Amino acid sequence: MAELFEAVASWPTLLLVLLVFGFAPGFVLRLLVLVYPCTDPRRRELIAELYTVPRIQRPLWVTEQLEVALFEGLAHRIRAIRSITRRRRARVQSYKRAKRLRFASVAVVGVAVGVIVDTIVTWDWAVGIASWIVAVAVAVIVLRERAARRRLSARARRRFWP
């Protein structure tokens, strides 16, 4: 009996009780709510509700929240990721379309210049000038895009590894 009393009243038991009923519920719940997207009000709600749950019931209540977080939070998170991916894909597509349009307009301008020049000088000269204009314009576009990409990746690097 004395041994049992000593075991119950020992320091490790006290630490275990403090951990299970004091520290662990709040810590685990704060980790669990990270499953929800950061804009979801349920993150704040669940943390606030924890303080109204009697201390003795907290470990079990937090375990119940695992179910909520997995079935509700994960679904919200997946939906949020999907919408971000869709938006990003649309942006990439519009970027590609703009790029194609830019190349097409350069080609049209080159041909138009060639035709105009053809009326003034000989055909060979006109073709030569037009192809030079197209080549220079394409080179300018490619260089500008490369510089923009480099700027973007530098900004992304600064954002994630400041």
For another protein, the binding residues (CB under 8 A) are: 41-42, 44-49, 51-53, 61, 64-65, 67-68, 71-72
Based on CB atoms, which residue is closest to another protein, 37 or 128? 37
CA 80 to each of CA 44, 59, 85, 91, 99: distance values in angstroms, whole numbers, following the listed order:
18, 30, 9, 17, 29
What number of other Cβ atoms are within 10 A of residue 118's Cβ?
16
Say if residues 14 and 23 touch (Cβ distance below 8 Å): no
Based on CB atoms, which residue is closest to another protein, 8 or 78? 78
Q: Smallest distance, Å, CB 58 to another protein?
A: 11
Q: Smallest distance, Å, CB 20 to another protein?
A: 19
Based on CB atoms, which residue is closest to another protein, 21 or 103? 21
Based on CB atoms, which residue is closest to another protein, 61 or 103? 61
Q: Smallest distance, Å, CB 14 to another protein?
A: 23
Q: Smallest distance, Å, CB 1 to another protein?
A: 38
- Cα 124 from Cα 126, distance rounded (Å): 5
- The angle formed by the CA atoms of residues 44, 32 and 11, to the nearest 5 degrees, is 105
Task: Look at the alpha carbons of 37, 38, 39, 41 in this order and tell me if their dihedral is positive or negative.
Answer: positive
